[in-house]
C-alpha cells in the first residue's frame, strides 16, 4: 500500500457506534454513526451511508413504510431493513430487528404490512410485532403483489428453463460444462437456467396463502415474466376489482429474444383463471391469445405478425396495423376506476433507448392513445391521480429529472424545476404525491409534493378554463415540496459540499451544449485545479443530477478535482433528434461534443488547470475513453475506463442482448455490403487506434459482466502494456457491469483516486 493510500485510510472515518452486533451468532448490520476527521467526502464515508429503496403509503395515507439498506465494509455485505413513519415524516422507527433481510413491504390494510423474508411472505403490524409467515414455498418467493380485495396474491417464482442450456447426464453429477443450443444462454451476469413466472394463489381471511390453489398464469410457456435483467413486480398490476392482472411479457426465446425488444402488456382473467382469455393490449388488430411459438392467433390474414426483421418498416407502411406496437411495453398500472391501463411504451423494435411514451388503453372502448407526445423526452415513472383522469410522471429535460402532470387529453404541464432528480413517485393521498428525490450533493430521501394550484382534473373542469401547454421548463402553477426523511443527515452535516454550475457552449456543428461544472468544496477561484472530463455511459443515459455510489461527483470534487460533465449528443433531455444522433455514429459528433466542453472549460474557466486534465467513464463512457486515448491531441494526462467497449467487432457477438449492437452499429461486421454507418463504426473502433496511444490508462472490468465482456478491458490493458504505455488493470472476478460488494467498492475508489493523483497532482 502506498503512502497516499495509507493517508486516505487513516483519515477516513472513526466509528462512533459499531455497525454490527451478534444475535444468535448472526451478524446484524445496522445504521452507521460516524465521526469524520475532515469535512471532505472519502470512499469510506460514502459506503457508510444508508440507502433508501422501496416505499409505500398506507391506504389511508397516514403512514409510510420504506426500505433501507445498510452496508458493512467489514462484513462485505448489506442488510435490508424496513422502517415506518407517519406521513409527515414524524415518529420514524425501524421495524426490522433480525439479521435476515426484510424487503418489498406492501400494505394489507391500514394496520398490517406484508413483506419478504427468507423467500417467504410474512406479515406484521405497525409496531413490527405480531409477525406471521403467510406462505410455505421452501423459500422460493422472489416478489409478490396482493389483490386489492386481499383474496388473491401474485407470487413470482423461478421455474427450470432448459430449452437452451441442456441438462447434464445424471451419471455426471459433478460436470460443470454446459451444452448450449441457442442464444440468450446468459443475461447480464448469470447463465439463464431458470426464468420467473407469476403464480396466483388464494388467500384466506387471515391473509394466509393457500399453496394448494396455485396457478401459473404462463403455464407451459417458456417466456419470462417479469423480464430480465431488471424487471420486478412493477411489471404486473391488479385491476381495482381484483378480477384482472395486467402483466408484461416478451413472447420470444433464443435468437428471436436476443434480437428483439418487442414486449407486450397482456390482460389475464384472474377470476376465471382461463389462460385462453388472455388478451394482448399492445397489438390492436383483432383478438389475441398467446400461443406457444410466440405468435398470435385471430389476426386477419396474419397482418399482425410480419417477419421480425421487417417489423419497423412494415408498420410504417401499413395503416391498417398502425396500433401494432413492436417496441418495449412495460410497467402497467390500472386507473383507480379500473377503466384504463397505462404503461410505458417504446415504438421501435430493437431500440432499447427509444423514447418511452405514456400509453393509455381504454378497456371500455378498446382504444389506445399516447398522452405525452408533446414531451420530447422519455417518461421514466408515473402514477395515476385518484380522479382516473390525471397522471403525474417524471422525465429528464435539460439535465434534471423533474415532475410533470398530464391528462387523458395529452396536455402536459411541468410541475417542478429544481436542480435535482426525482427517481420515482406514487400518490400519498388524494392531493399529495410521495416521491424519492436526490441530487449530485444529496443521496435519496423521501419528499411530499403538494400542488398548490392544481390543474383541471376532469373534462368538466376543462370546459370552465381549459389547460394550457406551456413551453418545457415552465412552472406548473406553484407547489410545495417537503422533505420527510434525512437518512444520512449525520454524515452530510459533517461534509462540505461542492459548488455546481451549468454552462452552455457552441458545438462544432453550431448547436448549444449544456455541461455541468462541479467545483471542489472550499473552492478558491484563484487556484488551479486538476480537471476531469466525465464521459457518460448508455450511450443514451442522462447526465442529470444523479447520485451514484461509484461515479459520484461529490467525492471526485472532494478529492480536489473540477469535474466537467457534458450532455453530449446521445443523452436524453434535449429532444429526440439530439438523442438519436449517436446511433451509428459513436465516434462522430458525440466525441466532438466532449472536446467542445473540455476545451471551453480549459480556455474560459481560469481555475481549470489545462495541463493536468484526465478523462474518465464507464460502459459507453469507457468506450469514449478508449477512443479519446487515440484522438485527444495531448489534452489529457491520464485515462480511466470502466467496463468499456474496446473492440466493436468482438463486442458485436460477445454481448448477450444482440438487439443493442444491431441498432447501434447498424449492421454485422461480416456483411460485405454493410451500410455506410456500420462501416464507419467498425473502422473507428478504439482498438484500431492503439498505435496513437501515448497516455497512461487504468482499465477496470468485472468478469461477470456479460453486457460488455471482461476480455474488452483485458485487451485494452494488454495493448497498452505491449505498446510500453503505463497502465493498470483492476479486474473483479465476482462483479458484473457494476461494482456491488462493499470492499470491492472501496478498492475501486482507492484505485481510481490513486491513479488520478499519480498523474494529475
Q: Comparing 12 with 67, which gets the higher pLDDT? A: 67
Quote the CA–CA distance of 625 and 622 in Å, as a whole number. Answer: 5
Eight-state DSSP code of residue 401 = E
**How far is C-alpha 214 from the chain's CA centre?**
32
Eight-state DSSP code of residue 39 = S
Do residues 61 and 151 both lie within one domain?
Answer: no
Q: What is the pLDDT of residues 237-263, one digit of tens each?
A: 999 999 999 999 999 999 999 999 999
Question: Is 381 within a domain?
Answer: no
Do residues 94 and 150 both lie within one domain?
Answer: no
Do residues 236 and 296 both lie within one domain?
Answer: yes
DSSP letter for each residue of 251-311: ---HHHHHT----EEEEEETTT--GGG-EESSB-SS---B-TTS-BSS-GGGTT---GGGH
Among 355, 370, 385, identify where a domain stops: 370
Contact 53, 446 (CB under 8 A): no
The C-alpha cell 433501507 sits at 68
The C-alpha cell 430449452 sits at 163
Quote the CA–CA distance of 250 and 252 in Å, as a whole number. Answer: 6
**375 grid coordinates:** 414531451
Question: Is 375 within a domain?
Answer: no
Quote the CA–CA distance of 624 and 535 in Å, as a whole number. Answer: 7
pLDDT of 471 above 50: no
pLDDT of 438 above 90: yes
Helix (H) or strand (E) holding 121: strand 120-125
Question: Is 453 within a domain?
Answer: no
Contact 243, 234 (CB under 8 A): no
Residues 6+ apart with CB under 8 A from 251: 221, 223, 264, 290, 294, 295
Do residues 104 and 140 both lie within one domain?
Answer: no
The CA distances from residue 8 to 37, 458, 490, 542, 759, in Å, are 11, 59, 21, 31, 17
Among 313, 337, 370, identify where a domain stops: 370
Do residues 189 and 332 both lie within one domain?
Answer: yes
Can you list the positions of beta strands (E) in 453-572? 479-483, 499-506, 512-519, 529-535, 562-566
Helix (H) or strand (E) holding 596: helix 589-604
Question: Is 429 within a domain?
Answer: no
Cis peptide preceding 141, ω within 30 of 0: no
Region 505-534 average pLDDT: 98
Do residues 85 and 227 both lie within one domain?
Answer: no
Residue 476 banded pLDDT, cuts 50, 70, 90: very low
Residues 6+ apart with CB under 8 A from 676: none
Query: Within a 10 A sphere around the Cβ of 184, how many other Cβ atoms?
Result: 22
**27 grid coordinates:** 451478524
Q: Which of 621, 571, 575, 628 is nearest to 599 (CA)?
A: 628
Which pLDDT value is given to residue 313? 54
Question: Is 394 within a domain?
Answer: no
Do residues 140 and 107 both lie within one domain?
Answer: no
By annotation, the residues acting in catalysis are 619, 705, 737
Do residues 662 and 555 both lie within one domain?
Answer: yes
- What is the domain count for the chain? 3
For 629-741, where are the alpha helices, taking DSSP H only? Answer: 648-654, 658-665, 676-683, 710-722
Do residues 591 and 735 both lie within one domain?
Answer: yes
**225 grid coordinates:** 415474466
Residue 283 banded pLDDT, cuts 50, 70, 90: confident
Q: Which of 645, 638, 634, 646 is nearest to 751 (CA)?
A: 638
Quote the CA–CA distance of 425 and 433 in Å, as a whole number. Answer: 7
pLDDT of 290 above 60: no
pLDDT of 10 above 60: no
Burial of 206 (C-beta count, 10 Å sphere; 0-12/13-18/19+): exposed
Contact 600, 748 (CB under 8 A): no
Q: Comparing 110 with 12, which gets the higher pLDDT? A: 110
Quote the CA–CA distance of 435 and 420 in Å, as a whole number. Answer: 12
- Residue 546, sorted as left (phi over 0), alpha (psi -120 to 50) or beta, turns out to be beta
Can you list the positions of beta strands (E) in 336-485? 340-345, 357-362, 367-370, 381-384, 390-397, 400-407, 413-414, 421-427, 433-439, 442-451, 479-483
What average pLDDT does the chain have? 90
Q: What is the pLDDT of residues 52-96, one digit of tens each?
A: 999 999 999 999 999 999 999 999 999 999 999 999 999 999 999
Question: Is 626 within a domain?
Answer: yes
Among 55, 83, 113, identify where a domain stops: 113
Q: What is the pLDDT of residues 490-519, one digit of tens each?
A: 999 999 999 999 999 999 999 999 999 999
Q: Which of 182, 264, 191, 166 is nearest to 223 (CA)?
A: 264
The CA distances from residue 265 to 55, 214, 279, 552, 587, in Å, are 25, 22, 8, 36, 36
pLDDT of 703 above 80: yes
Which pLDDT value is given to residue 459? 52
Question: Is 722 within a domain?
Answer: yes
Contact 89, 527 (CB under 8 A): no
Residues 6+ apart with CB under 8 A from 370: 345, 357, 358, 359, 360, 410
Do residues 540 and 673 both lie within one domain?
Answer: yes
* Alpha-carbon radius of gyration of the chain: 26
Do residues 630 and 704 both lie within one domain?
Answer: yes
Q: Which of 448, 443, 398, 393 is nearest to 418 (CA)?
A: 398
Q: Which of 566, 560, 688 is nearest to 616 (CA)?
A: 566
Q: Note the residue count of the chain.
A: 761
- Residue 675, sorted as left (phi over 0), alpha (psi -120 to 50) or beta, turns out to be beta
Share of the chain above pLDDT 90, in %: 86
Q: Which of 550, 511, 512 is nearest to 534 (CA)?
A: 550
**7 grid coordinates:** 493517508
Its domain, for residue 567, covers 497-760
Which pLDDT value is given to residue 596? 98
We report the CATH number of the domain holding residue 577 as: 3.40.50.1820
Classified as helix, coil or strand, 385 is coil
Residue 14 banded pLDDT, cuts 50, 70, 90: very low
| Bridge partners (DSSP) listed for residue 434 | 426, 448
Question: Is 439 within a domain?
Answer: no
Do residues 157 and 102 both lie within one domain?
Answer: no
Q: What is the pLDDT of residues 339-379, one digit of tens each?
A: 999 999 999 999 999 999 999 999 999 999 999 999 999 99
Which pLDDT value is given to residue 213? 81
Which pLDDT value is given to residue 452? 76
Amino acid at each position: 500500500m502506498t503512502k497516499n493510500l495509507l493517508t486516505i485510510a487513516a483519515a477516513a472515518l472513526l466509528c462512533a457506534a459499531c455497525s454490527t452486533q451478534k444475535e444468535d451468532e448472526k451478524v446484524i448490520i445496522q445504521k452507521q454513526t460516524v465521526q469524520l476527521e475532515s469535512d471532505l467526502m472519502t470512499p469510506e464515508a460514502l459506503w457508510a451511508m444508508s440507502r433508501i429503496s422501496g416505499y409505500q403509503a398506507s391506504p389511508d395515507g397516514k403512514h409510510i413504510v420504506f426500505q433501507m439498506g445498510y452496508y458493512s465494509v467489514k462484513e462485505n455485505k448489506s442488510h435490508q431493513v424496513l422502517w415506518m413513519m407517519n406521513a409527515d415524516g414524524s415518529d420514524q422507527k425501524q421495524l426490522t430487528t433480525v439479521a435476515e433481510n426484510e424487503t418489498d413491504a406492501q400494505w394489507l390494510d391500514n394496520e398490517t404490512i406484508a413483506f419478504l423474508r427468507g423467500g417467504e411472505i410474512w406479515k406484521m403490524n405497525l409496531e413490527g410485532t405480531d409477525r406471521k409467515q403467510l406462505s410455505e414455498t421452501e423459500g422460493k418467493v422472489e416478489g409478490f403483489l396482493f389483490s386489492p380485495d386481499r383474496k388473491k396474491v401474485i407470487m413470482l417464482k423461478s421455474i427450470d428453463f432448459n430449452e437452451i442450456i441442456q441438462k447434464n447426464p445424471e451419471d455426471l453429477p459433478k460436470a460443470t460444462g454446459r451444452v448450449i443450443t441457442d442464444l440468450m444462454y446468459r443475461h447480464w451476469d448469470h447463465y439463464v437456467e431458470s426464468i420467473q413466472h407469476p403464480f396466483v394463489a388464494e388467500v384466506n381471511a387471515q391473509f394466509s396463502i393457500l399453496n394448494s390453489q396455485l396457478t401459473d398464469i404462463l403455464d407451459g410457456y417458456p417466456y419470462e415474466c417479469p423480464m430480465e435483467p431488471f424487471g420486478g413486480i412493477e411489471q404486473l398490476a391488479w385491476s381495482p376489482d381484483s378480477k384482472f392482472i395486467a402483466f408484461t411479457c416478451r413472447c420470444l426465446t433464443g435468437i428471436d429474444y436476443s434480437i428483439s425488444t418487442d414486449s407486450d402488456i397482456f390482460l389475464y382473467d384472474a377470476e376465471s383463471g382461463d389462460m385462453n382469455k388472455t388478451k394482448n393490449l399492445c397489438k390492436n388488430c383483432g383478438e389475441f391469445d398467446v400461443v406457444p411459438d410466440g405468435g398470435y392467433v385471430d389476426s386477419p390474414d396474419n397482418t399482425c405478425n410480419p417477419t421480425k426483421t421487417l417489423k419497423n418498416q412494415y408498420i410504417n407502411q401499413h395503416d391498417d396495423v398502425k396500433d401494432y406496437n413492436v417496441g418495449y411495453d412495460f410497467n402497467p398500472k390500472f386507473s383507480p376506476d379500473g377503466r384504463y391501463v397505462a404503461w410505458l411504451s417504446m415504438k421501435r423494435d430493437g431500440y432499447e433507448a427509444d423514447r418511452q411514451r405514456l400509453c393509455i388503453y381504454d378497456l371500455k372502448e378498446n382504444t389506445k392513445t399516447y398522452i405525452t407526445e408533446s414531451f420530447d423526452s422519455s417518461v421514466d415513472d408515473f402514477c395515476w391521480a385518484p380522479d382516473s383522469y390525471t397522471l403525474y410522471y417524471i422525465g429528464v429535460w435539460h439535465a434534471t429529472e423533474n415532475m410533470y402532470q398530464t391528462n387523458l387529453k395529452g396536455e402536459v404541464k411541468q410541475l417542478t424545476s429544481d436542480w435535482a432528480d426525482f427517481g420515482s413517485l406514487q400518490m400519498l393521498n388524494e392531493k399529495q404525491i410521495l416521491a424519492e428525490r436526490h441530487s449530485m450533493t444529496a443521496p435519496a430521501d423521501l419528499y411530499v409534493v403538494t400542488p398548490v394550484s392544481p390543474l383541471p382534473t376532469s373534462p368538466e373542469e376543462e370546459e370552465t378554463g381549459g389547460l394550457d401547454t406551456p413551453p418545457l421548463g415552465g412552472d406548473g402553477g406553484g407547489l410545495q415540496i417537503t422533505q420527510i426523511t434525512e437518512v444520512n443527515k449525520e454524515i452530510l452535516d459533517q461534509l462540505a459540499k461542492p459548488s455546481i454550475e451549468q454552462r452552455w457552449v457552441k458545438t462544432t456543428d453550431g448547436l448549444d451544449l449544456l455541461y455541468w461544472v462541479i467545483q471542489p468544496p472550499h473552492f478558491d477561484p484563484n487556484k488551479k485545479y486538476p480537471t476531469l472530463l466525465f464521459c457518460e455511459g448508455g450511450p443514451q443515459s442522462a447526465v442529470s443530477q444523479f447520485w451514484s455510489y461509484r461515479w459520484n461527483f461529490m467525492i471526485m470534487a472532494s478529492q480536489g478535482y473540477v469535474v466537467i460533465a457534458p450532455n453530449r449528443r446521445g443523452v436524453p433531455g434535449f429532444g429526440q433528434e439530439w438523442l438519436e444522433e449517436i446511433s451509428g455514429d459513436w465516434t462522430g459528433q458525440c466525441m466532438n461534443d466532449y472536446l467542445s466542453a473540455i476545451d471551453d472549460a480549459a480556455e474560459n474557466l481560469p481555475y481549470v488547470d489545462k495541463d493536468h486534465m484526465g478523462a474518465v467513464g464507464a460502459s459507453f463512457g469507457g468506450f469514449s475513453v478508449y477512443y479519446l486515448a487515440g484522438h485527444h491531441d495531448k489534452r489529457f494526462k491520464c485515462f480511466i475506463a470502466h467496463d468499456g467497449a474496446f473492440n466493436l467487432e468482438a463486442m458485436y457477438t460477445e454481448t448477450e442482448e444482440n438487439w443493442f449492437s444491431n441498432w447501434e452499429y447498424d449492421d454485422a461486421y461480416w456483411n460485405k455490403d454493410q451500410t455506410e454507418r456500420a462501416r464507419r463504426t467498425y473502422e473507428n473502433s478504439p482498438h484500431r487506434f492503439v498505435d496513437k496511444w501515448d497516455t497512461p490508462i487504468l482499465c477496470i472490468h468485472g468478469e461477470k459482466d456479460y453486457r460488455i465482456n471482461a476480455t474488452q478491458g483485458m485487451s485494452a490493458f494488454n495493448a497498452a502494456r505491449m505498446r510500453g504505455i503505463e497502465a493498470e488493470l483492476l479486474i473483479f472476478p465476482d462483479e458484473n457491469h457494476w461494482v456491488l460488494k462493499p470492499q470491492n467498492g472501496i478498492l475501486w475508489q482507492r484505485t481510481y483516486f490513486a491513479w488520478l493523483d499519480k498523474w494529475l497532482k
